[in-house]
């Protein structure tokens, strides 16, 4: 017999997911199940797939595999587009991402420097969460997969 989740069940699952490593399959499964049932707030459902240590490792060594690169890219693009629509921003998000990618490339910025860099001269107003998504998308576009198997298949 199916059972509806109570608030206590929901809280327990969220607490359990928060103890698991970011990006782990178990954590993704729990959060995806809660999101599918509409039991997560937008803030909880849209947490980034990578933490700052994982981002630093990708900056140095590249992506561990194609799947994590694709998942991170999908999350970043969806987050950027959703924020763009919610704010009713004029123009195309691709133009803003090009401007931000140029800023990262020209300034030779790593993740933490990019979050701190001045936004003077930009016509786009973006918050820290959107900047995180932009940087993850930048990594997905510009860093290669470090897997030897993938390199041999190309």
pLDDT digit string, tens, across residues 83-93: 777 777 667 78
Whether 40 and 61 map to the same domain: the answer is no
- Convert the pLDDT of each residue in 39-81 to its tens digit: 445 554 466 778 888 888 888 888 887 778 888 888 888 888 8
Whether 127 and 109 map to the same domain: the answer is yes
Instruction: Choose among 146, 105, 132: nearest CA to 51.
Output: 132
Query: Residue 55 is encoded by which pair of tokens?
Result: 């981002």
Query: Under DSSP, is residue 145 helix (H, G, I), strand (E, B) or coil?
Result: strand
Q: What is the pTM of this model?
A: 0.62
Whether 98 and 57 map to the same domain: the answer is yes
Whether 57 and 110 map to the same domain: the answer is yes
Whether 34 and 110 map to the same domain: the answer is no
Q: Please check whether residue 2 lies inside any domain of the structure.
A: no
- Tell me, what's the pLDDT at 66? 78
Identify any residues that bridge with 63 across adjacent strands, giving them in sequence order. Answer: 145
Tell me the average pLDDT across 105-126. 79
Q: Taking the alpha carbons of 75, 138, 96, 124 in that order, is the dihedral positive or negative?
A: positive
* Listed range (3-17, 81-95, 138-152) with the worst mean pLDDT: 138-152
Q: Quote the CA–CA distance of 91 and 124 in Å, as a whole number.
A: 10
Whether 68 and 19 map to the same domain: the answer is no
- Phi/psi for 150 (5° steps) reads -65, -40
Q: Please check whether residue 107 lies inside any domain of the structure.
A: yes
Domains in the chain: how many in total? 2
Instruction: Choose among 58, 43, 21: nearest CA to 137.
Output: 58
Q: Please check whether residue 61 lies inside any domain of the structure.
A: yes
Whether 75 and 32 map to the same domain: the answer is no
Whether 63 and 136 map to the same domain: the answer is yes
pLDDT for 150 beyond 50: no
The alpha carbon of residue 12 and the mean position of all alpha carbons in its chain are separated, in whole angstroms, by 24
Domain enclosing residue 27, as ranges:
7-45
- Tell me, what's the pLDDT at 43? 52
| Residue 152 or residue 109, greater confidence | 109
- Tell me, what's the pLDDT at 44? 47
Residue 117: Cβ-neighbour burial (10 angstroms; 0-12, 13-18, 19+): middle
- Tell me, what's the pLDDT at 112? 87
């Amino acid at each position: 017999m199916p059972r509806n989740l109570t608030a206590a069940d929901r809280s327990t699952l969220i607490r359990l997911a928060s103890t698991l490593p970011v990006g782990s399959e178990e954590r993704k499964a729990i959060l995806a199940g809660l999101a599918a049932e509409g039991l997560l707030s937008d803030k909880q459902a849209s947490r980034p797939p990578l933490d700052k240590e994982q981002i630093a490792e990708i900056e140095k060594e590249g992506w561990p595999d194609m799947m994590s690169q694709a998942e991170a890219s999908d999350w970043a693009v969806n987050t950027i587009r959703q924020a763009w629509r919610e704010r009713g921003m004029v123009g195309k998000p691709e133009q803003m991402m090009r401007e931000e990618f140029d800023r990262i490339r020209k300034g030779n910025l790593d993740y933490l420097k990019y979050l701190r860099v001045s936004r003077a001269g930009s016509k786009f107003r973006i918050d820290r969460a959107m900047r995180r998504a932009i940087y993850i998308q930048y990594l997905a576009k510009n860093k290669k997969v470090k897997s030897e198997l993938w390199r041999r298949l190309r």
